[in-house]
Chains A and B, each alone.
Chain A
Amino acid sequence: MMASSYNAKDENGHHPGSVDSSGPSAVKSKKSDNTDFKQQRLPAWQPILTAGTVLPAFFMIGLIFIPIGIGLFVTSNNIKEFEIDYTGVDMSSPCFNCSQNYSWNSTSACTCSVPFTLDQPFESNVFMYYGLSNFYQNHRRYVKSRDDSQLNGDKSSLQKPSKECEPYQTSDKKPIAPCGAIANSLFNDTLELFYIHPNGSRIAIHLGKTGIAWWTDKHVKFRNPGGNDNNLSVVFQNTSKPVNWRKHVYELDPTDPENNGFINEDFIVWMRTAALPTFRKLYRIIQKKKVNMTPTLPPGNYSLEVTYNYPVRSFDGRKRMILSTISWMGGKNPFLGIAYITVGSACFFLGVVLLIIHHKYGNRNNNTDIPN
């Protein structure tokens, strides 16, 4: 577009005859300063939408977007993703029984084993997610039902959780730690993965349970009361466990003090509420094998061992396990590529249409004769 600055000429400037400039001016002139600002003639850029600027813009957008879209689409297609629903709604499903028998209070864990086959090898790091559907983690009452101060290790909040946590604020007259509906509904299925070797042996695949949460969450936002080194059972002794939990917060991962209590990464991941009712959360990371060139997950038969604790049937929810590889732009995401290609083409097309319209019907009278 064209830059232009207009200079109004100083119309009334300092005419020798005018009273205020020639006279001895005992009276102070009320005439305001002759500045560009006050006289509204600041130099300015006055862009205009012309065929010369708009049409190239459309073509440019088209030309930029289409290649990006293609790139995204190809990348996304190269990502391998495997998803399996283990809710156990069908009679045939191995977890059918567990899903039927479930109650929060049952003491014995119900386990089921879901076999599946990978047709293609999964290279590099493989990420294991659990997915929930129809689970409203974004409900207003759910979202606000937490006490960030308590999760940050504030001792007074530990003893007296925020009112926002109601009705999961206290239990048996003791404060709940961690309080609130989000914490209370912590996803507590345990998923394990076994590779069924063609010779029939089951090889447990190592699932890394750290590095799945945001760094800021793990290191800043979530803190155990009184520091992470203390004996957690002492710190939490006057608190009650959330109603639905089987164990106390300090028993989440007794093996690793860096992953126990409030800084347990499974807990942190759960506490980062999802935006939409169907969501997935990172569960484990399968590191690629450094030694040999074999893929992280070679094609073949696998078995998913589920310790089935989490009830979703009541509200018609679904549970899934997802395995996925990753590229520079994240996981599989065909939408973005397609959207880019579509928008790019649309802009290009629009550019062509506008060009035609401009040539056929465009106002040629854009010259200097202006009707008055």
Chain B
Amino acid sequence: MFRKRPPPEEERRVRANDREYNEKFQYASNCIMTSKYNIITFLPVNLFEQFQEVANTYFLFLLILQLIPQISSLSWFTTIVPLVLVLSITAVKDATDDYFRHKSDNQVNNRQSQVLISGILQKEKWMNVRVGDIIKLENNQFVAADLLLLSSSEPHGLCYIETAELDGETNMKVRQSLSVTSELGDPNNLAQFDGEVVCEPPNNKLDRFCGTLYWKDCKYPLSNQNMLLRGCVLRNTESCYGLVIFAGPDTKLMQNSGCTKFKRTSIDRLMNTLVLWIFGFLVCMGVILAIGNAVWEKEVGSLFQSFLPWDPPVDNFLFSAFLSFWSYVIILNTVVPISLYVSVEVIRLGHSYFINWDRRMFCSHSNTAAEARTTTLNEELGQVEYIFSDKTGTLTQNIMTFNKCSINGHAYGEVIDILGSQQKRSQPLDFSAWNPLADRDFCFYDQSLLEAVMVGEPAVHEFFRVLSLCHTVMSEEKSEGELLYKAQSPDEGALVMAARNFGFVFRSRTPGTVTTQELGKEVTYTLLAILDFNNIRKRMSVIVRNPVGRIRLYCKGADTVLFERLHSCNQELTNITSDHLNEYAVDGLRTLAVAYRDLSEEQWEEWAEHYRGADKSTDCREDRLAAAYEEIEQDMMLLGATAIEDKLQEGVPETIAILSLANIKIWVLTGDKQETAVNIGYSCKMLTEDMTEIFIVNGHTVQSVREELRKARERMLESARTRDEGKEAEAQGWGGACALGNGFGGGGAANCMPDEAKCPPPQAPPSSLLESINGEFALIISGHSLAHALEADMEREFLETACACRAVICCRVTPLQKALVVELVKRRKKAVTLAIGDGANDVSMIKTAHIGVGISGQEGIQAVLSSDYSFSQFRFLQRLLLVHGRWSYLRMCRFLCYFFYKNFAFTMVHFWFGFFCGFSAQTVYDQYFITLYNIVYTSLPVLAMGIFDQDVPEQRSLEYPKLYEPGQLNLLFNKREFFICIAQGIYTSVVLFFIPYGVLSHATQSNGVPLADYQTFAVTTATALVIVVSVQIALDTGYWTAINHFFIWGSLGTYFTILFAMHSSILFNIFPKQFHFLGSAHNTLGQPVVWLTIALATIICIAPVLAFRFLKLDLKPQLSDTVRYTQLVRQKKRKPGGRAGHGVGGAGAAGGSALGRLGRGGSRRSGYAFAHQEGFGELITSGKNMRLSSLALATFASRHSSSWIDSLRKKKHASSSGAQNTLTTEDGSNVSSQTTLVSNSSSVIGPQGTTPWETRQPCNETGLTCSLDDISLNMVRCTEREAGGCSAGTVQETLFVWRGPGSRISGTSSPVPPPIAEETSSGD
């Protein structure tokens, strides 16, 4: 652990199979350690850490002070008991945390891997893997370290990996070994391999690697294409061998994960500051009292020496004052309440348990409950201003489903609606009846499409034919009818899957053929060309010759691109399809247009010539190819369009809408492509059609990024200005001259600025103008632009621009960039940030943000492990923040206010008493009272409040997201509130001292004995104090559960019980020295005067507070007060009333407007987003990755009837014979290995994942109706509610009403066609 760090590496030299050589460099081993302590270091390190806390050192210091008898004004136990309590509780917590870290470390370190040691494969633990070892990986194994791929079981040294843990992308990536090493093949050859790799030192760049392999006197350049990084999973590859280059902490995964930081909440920091201030205050008090002591000792004390001589070491008044200072520091230490920290921990723990227990944050599919993994951050959840969300797996389920389509102007799939068609929805079409190859998980609900296929509509057939032919998917067929698609992008997979279910089954491909089964009939097309996808083209085409010999080009691509290349006769169809596309786009579906073109043999030949020429050209090959593609993709006939749903997690749009109503800004940071990200932005309603403008920053150079950002800002200012002008024109009240000036000078932007600056409201000063825009803007920035934008000189600009936008999407970002963005916002905006993600690529972001949330129940658990909170659905975030976070914050604030108040009220009495006891540091109270006051008498009621208090019920906080605002603005506990509490505390202490002083100094008991003795005074003051603070907590408690009652009354009861017990003769007889307050309680509390005094003091303390609170509530109520009041009123007169009709009327109107809005959307054309890289087509045509297609073909052929075989043979003859060669070389073992392949990769490729619709359905419905129901409760007082039924009609209405007022989110719910709405409500 304390090993000396070697100097930073310049370069790394690794020699394969040579441990001795590599040992020299002392590279890190593959052992990972995230834990902080071990058994021996725990106590010292932990104590050291704990005493770094200001408060703890302070108490330790006090403890030492108390050991000096001349100073000690309190018994030793008043400080040490709480301190030990605090330290041990924290230590236990730290120890448990670290134990779990040890456990997870061990689990990872002890994973098995196969290492090639002296020519033999041996099992080794991960932690024992050394740099330079060659290890063998098998399918679906995690890569143990950063490896150089040497060879693979697949042809050409290819191997497939899934990098989801690393960058969040779930599509597979190809890695290829160097051809020299890929030939090494078996372990024996590899054991002889002694190449040396020289490469860059460890770094965190995931997409870059640069090194050289020296072997047999040759140099081979290495790139990222040859690397397998730790955290990846090997897929679809039987096995591969790799050379360990970076291990353990040096791996790119670990380098990216950043260091573990102890997170503190802002309240924590504020608390520490306040504790320091209080400490300063304490010193001031001490100094004042010490000066008083000096004066007193000089004037009075020295004369009084005949009765009370100075203590031996004291020989003058100055020294006495010095000692008195320290004595007072001890006495007044209770202003820094020692139980504060313990209580805060307890409250947070309680809140964490509530989060863990919350059934509404429980996901029944994955059987996971929400979990508060860190218990110290809860109240920060109530202050979040920025949410940084990952996309894949967080917002989306990463499941693509074929949702709707438009074929030949006819839209299919429309029946699917949120509300309208529960009946139809619960019964997806059954394809298996007529199509044995149909996939059971595929769901489609529109019967008419299936009928159209059955009837044999040519356009529909052609449509699905395109889908089954025009793609780069690979298929595997293990056994008959068990098809498995390996798609590069889930979109393509979904399309091919759809075609398969509708009877156009893609079965296999060879480099030159594609075999499909069309409505049960085997057809083999000759694949003439693949016109591959790229970002500029945004489309892909295939040219095939069908068995009859006709040549056709099939194309699918972004509608914008495709529509330009259609034949002119398509105009009408294009318009209709366009309309459909617009509808789909509004729904946030990913759309593709589909077209074909018939080619004559001559056309083909001619073009093929061109194409070959372009293909062979060496210079500008890309451009020339593109030009060639362009040439043939003309005059196409439109077939229709597809709409794929990138399935969002449940309730994502609603959650985002509610969160943004709560003034939380949501940024999406994704490693995914821009198009995909934008698409998701639309489908989860972050981006909407009615946004003023969406800025896309995509520059590659510093200048261009700067320019783009500047332009965006200008546009925003401009629009803000025009909007403001409009506003001013409407509201003339604000200084006519000014408004006029603006109105006229509106043309010149520069002229306008000074005018605005002079204007009082409503215009903000120009500097903060950007802040105030709050308009409908969105910013989309890509990773490479972000790299520039995050540079020190531009980050301000970037942040200003981004924060003025309502939605920010960063795409193609690396994990570290995610963290940097979070860090930037955290640092610059001083706002509370929350990062939510599910993959290892989100870990650094999760760790950086104030609060990290991990989505659990998905594949990886790394995000969860490093997160502070975890749950399985994005939508739970609203509950976490708006309900739990809000409550936590509220409770914590109330708790702190009260806590500081009660301690000041308690302690400052000593200060006033100092003026009457010769500044001698005499306490007012009994020492036991001082010890127990914080621990026993007043702790539980305030703890109960801190744990259970609620200002408004949970539904209300979801219903009025604005209730979240006080937390963001830090209103409930800040320095101002603190001073108010302190002032109140001091006021109370004054009353508590001077009222008894005034009364008791002359009073006598009814038997003539004076009441002015010290003990009576102490008991009276203490009792008054306990009663006053109890009344105060009663006022502060807003939610009196039985527990609160029990604790408040119980505390009072305990006080009196302990008081009488301590003052009883029994205890005195046992310890006469300790309990000298014998009989005081009895003698004091039996006197009516004492009770009159207590009552008087209580009223004087409480009445002003009551009056003040009432005024505040009456004149300036907070939203929460109003909500609370409304709740009360509603409960009082819980009658349906005649307003239901009105509500429905309003609902209708609002609904109308909402529908109108939907209609006018559609300016946006969704971009065609293949989520895969280009060049895959090339891989297919080259045949490199073909392996089992022919096998499948053969098995398939052998089992079928003669007619099938005949046709197949025909085709085989037509196609090349290359396929058959590969067929024969396959052996049996390969087949068995494929079985595992099939079963394992199903989760990746199968579009329907593991959760079939049926199970998901009910939960979804319930969640929806319930959330709406809550709203309906408030918005519409309809009679149905009284009956207890939650009818669809009500929901319908409320949906509209809900949408009505929240104009900003009016687009959040899916469109509901009016007929359906009417139908359901009337049917009810």
Chain A residues close to B by CB (< 8 Å): 2, 4, 6, 8, 11-12, 15-20, 27, 29-34, 38-51, 54, 57-58, 61, 65, 68, 72, 104, 125, 127, 129, 134-143, 145, 147-149, 152, 154, 162, 166-167, 181, 184-185, 211-217, 220-221, 244, 272-282, 285, 311, 314-316, 324, 326-333, 335-336, 339-340, 343, 346-347, 350, 354, 357-358, 361-363, 365-368, 370-372
Contact = CB atoms under 8 A, between A and B. Distances in A.
Interface stretch (B352-360, B512-520, B814-822): B352-360
Interface in B310-334: 311-312, 327
Interface in B1023-1064: 1038-1044
Q: Closest 4 CB pairs between A and B?
A: A17-B1258, A216-B1079, A275-B1017, A140-B920
Interface in B1109-1126: 1109-1111, 1113-1117, 1119, 1121-1126
B359 A12 contact: yes
Contact of B1010 (A104, A181, A279): A279
B1089 interface: yes
A361 B1113 CA distance: 12
Contact of B1259 (A15, A39, A147, A329): A15
A213 B1078 CA distance: 13
Given A141-B920, A275-B1014, A19 B1131 contact: no
Contacts of A184: 307
B762 interface: no
B357 A32 contact: yes
B953 to A, nearest CB: 5
Given A152-B1068, A366-B1117, 15 more contacts: A11-B360, A12-B1262, A31-B364, A46-B1128, A48-B1113, A139-B920, A141-B920, A142-B920, A277-B917, A277-B918, A315-B307, A329-B1088, A347-B1099, A362-B1115, A370-B960
15 contacts: A30-B367, A44-B1039, A136-B308, A139-B917, A139-B920, A139-B922, A143-B922, A211-B1007, A221-B1079, A278-B1001, A330-B1005, A336-B998, A336-B999, A343-B1096, A370-B1126
Contact of A282 (B916, B1010, B1128): B1010
Contacts of A167: 309, 312
Contact of B1132 (A2, A166, A358, A366): A2
A139 B1128 contact: no
A162 B1114 CA distance: 61
Interface of B: 73, 300-301, 303-304, 306-309, 311-312, 327, 354, 356-360, 362, 364-365, 367-369, 661, 887, 916-918, 920-922, 948, 950, 953-955, 960-962, 995, 997-1018, 1038-1044, 1065, 1068-1069, 1072-1073, 1076, 1078-1079, 1082-1083, 1087-1089, 1092-1093, 1096, 1099-1100, 1103, 1106-1107, 1109-1111, 1113-1117, 1119, 1121-1132, 1254-1255, 1257-1259, 1262-1263, 1266, 1301-1302
B955 A8 contact: yes
A150 to B, nearest CB: 9
Contacts of A65: 1099
Nearest to A350: B1107
Contact of B1099 (A45, A61, A332, A361): A61
Contact of A275 (B367, B1016, B1301): B1016
A142 B308 contact: yes
A350 B1103 contact: yes
By secondary structure, the A interface counts as loop
B73 A275 contact: no
B995 to A, nearest CB: 7
Contacts of A220: 1065, 1068-1069, 1078-1079
A367 B156 CA distance: 76
A275 B1013 contact: yes
B1039 A314 contact: no
B916 A32 contact: no
Contacts of B1005: 330
A17 B1256 CA distance: 8
A286 B1122 CA distance: 66
A183 to B, nearest CB: 11
Nearest to B1139: A368
Contacts of A358: 1114
A279 B1011 CA distance: 10
A215 B1009 CA distance: 11
Contacts of B1004: 127, 282, 324, 326, 330-331
A339 B960 CA distance: 47
A76 B49 CA distance: 62
B719 to A, nearest CB: 25
Contact of B1103 (A40, A278, A347): A347
A335 to B, nearest CB: 5
A42 B1096 CA distance: 35
Given A12-B359, A136-B918, A370-B1122, A315 B304 contact: yes
A32 B1073 contact: no
Given A46-B1128, A281-B1010, A354 B359 contact: no
A54 B300 contact: no
A134 to B, nearest CB: 7
Nearest to B354: A40
B1010 A129 contact: yes
A346 B1096 CA distance: 12
A336 B1254 contact: no
B1254 A340 contact: no
B1065 A280 contact: no
B356 A32 contact: yes
A164 B114 CA distance: 76
A141 B1109 contact: no
A27 B1127 CA distance: 41
Contacts of A332: 1002
Contacts of B887: 40
A89 B1115 CA distance: 61
A194 B78 CA distance: 53
A19 B307 contact: no
A277 B1114 CA distance: 46
Given A273-B1014, A370-B1123, A148 B1072 contact: yes
Nearest to A131: B1010
Given A42-B1042, A58-B1103, A139 B308 contact: yes
A152 B787 CA distance: 82
Contact of B1128 (A4, A19, A277, A311): A4
A343 B998 CA distance: 14
Contacts of A12: 359-360, 362, 1259, 1262-1263, 1266
Nearest to B1079: A216
Tell which of B358, B960, B1010, B1132 has the most Cβ of chain A within 10 Å. B1010
Contacts of B1072: 148-149, 152, 154, 221
A127 B1010 CA distance: 10
A127 to B, nearest CB: 4
Contacts of A316: 300, 303
Contact of B362 (A32, A45, A143, A162): A32
A330 B1089 contact: yes
A368 B1128 CA distance: 10
Contact of A17 (B1093, B1099, B1259): B1259
B1302 A372 contact: yes
Nearest to B1069: A220
B1011 A330 contact: yes
A8 B304 contact: no
A370 B959 CA distance: 11
B948 A40 contact: yes
B1124 A48 contact: yes
A354 B908 CA distance: 31
B1128 A49 contact: no
A120 to B, nearest CB: 19
A15 B1258 contact: yes
Tell which of A16, A185, A366 has the most Cβ of chain B within 10 Å. A366
Nearest to B1082: A216
A274 B308 contact: no
Tell which of B300, B364, B950, B1039 has the most Cβ of chain A within 10 Å. B364
